[in-house]
């Protein structure tokens, strides 16, 4: 189990689950018309995925700039999500 974490594979597994979740929700929306649209989900999932990739970079001892890049991308996706959700008058 230790190797699973140290190698960053735990993050790979979580990212795979995120992709499956996105696909399942998109299918439900297309098939039954229920649930959030993929466009609504994308910024939220992108922000979380970028944070996970920053974690993976840290776990595998990647250069600090990779951690910074993933964190910056998470911030951009998070700001896009906030902008999308902000109430308009």
User: Which two structure tokens, joined as six digits, stand for 78?
Assistant: 């998070």
Q: Looking up tokens 């939220």, which residue turns up? A: 44
CA dihedral for 5, 7, 43, 23, sign (positive or negative): negative
Domain count for the chain, please give it. 1
Task: Identify the pLDDT of residue 44.
Answer: 95
Task: Identify the pLDDT of residue 58.
Answer: 97
3-class secondary-structure state, position 61? coil
Q: How many residues does the chain have?
A: 89
Domain that holds residue 39: 2-85
- Cβ atoms of 84 and 40 within 8 Å: the answer is yes
Q: Percentage of residues in the chain with pLDDT exceeding 90?
A: 90
Model confidence over 29-46: pLDDT tens digits?
A: 999 999 999 899 999 999
CA angle 9, 11, 4 (to 5 degrees): 30
Task: Identify the pLDDT of residue 88.
Answer: 87
């Amino acid at each position: 189990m230790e190797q699973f974490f140290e190698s960053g594979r735990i993050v790979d597994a979580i990212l795979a689950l995120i992709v499956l979740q996105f696909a399942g929700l998109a299918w439900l929306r297309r098939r039954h018309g229920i649930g959030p649209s993929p466009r609504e989900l994308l910024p939220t999932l992108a922000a979380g995925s970028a944070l996970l990739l920053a974690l993976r970079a840290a776990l595998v001892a990647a250069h600090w700039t990779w951690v910074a890049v993933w964190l910056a991308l998470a911030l951009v996706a998070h700001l896009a999500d906030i902008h999308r959700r902000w109430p308009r008058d």
